[in-house]
Amino acid sequence: MSHFTKVKTVIREREVLCEALRALHHRFREGERLIVNGYQDNTETAEVVVHTGCKYDIGFQRQRDGVYAAVADWNWGIRREAAPRFHQDAFLGEINQKYAHLNVRRQARIHGWPIEEERVLDDGTIEVVVCENI
């Protein structure tokens, strides 16, 4: 019986997802129909697969609506054997924050809007102030 769980994200851009993973120093592969390893040799496929340092992986699968879902054996595999940074809430929180941060910077660059200020608040929130050209 498979223990994989899919968690929907707001991630749409594979390139920005991979940039976020690199920035956070995660080891990963990208491609088509890559194997995501789970509990008792169960597998899923994904376009981006993150190595957790144990025999279980975290994958990102593009859904029909274009949004990526994170797929992993969060409870039986990851939680029991991977480092705490790979546990579902910690991992997805870190990835979503870095993805959003990089996506804001990317959109500003595309539109030619200069970034006036960028800082990390005491609670870990990243604040980016973008100036729209008038």
What integer pLDDT is reported at residue 77 of this predicted model?
84
The two tokens of residue 133 are 């050209």
Owning domain of residue 81: 5-130
pLDDT per position in the chain (134 positions), as tens?
568 999 999 999 999 999 999 999 999 999 999 999 998 899 999 999 999 999 999 999 999 999 999 999 998 889 888 899 999 999 999 999 999 999 999 999 999 999 999 999 999 899 999 887 76
pLDDT tens sequence across 10-36: 999 999 999 999 999 999 999 999 999
**CA dist., res. 128 & res. 100, Å (int):** 11
Number of structural domains in the chain: 1
Which tokens in the block code for residue 106?
């990317």
Query: Side by side, which strands form the sheet with 68-72?
Result: 5-8, 68-72, 57-62, 43-51, 28-37
What is the C-alpha separation between 32 and 30, in angstroms, rounded? 7
The pTM assigned to this predicted structure is 0.90
Instruction: Return the residue matching tokens 């169960």.
Output: 42
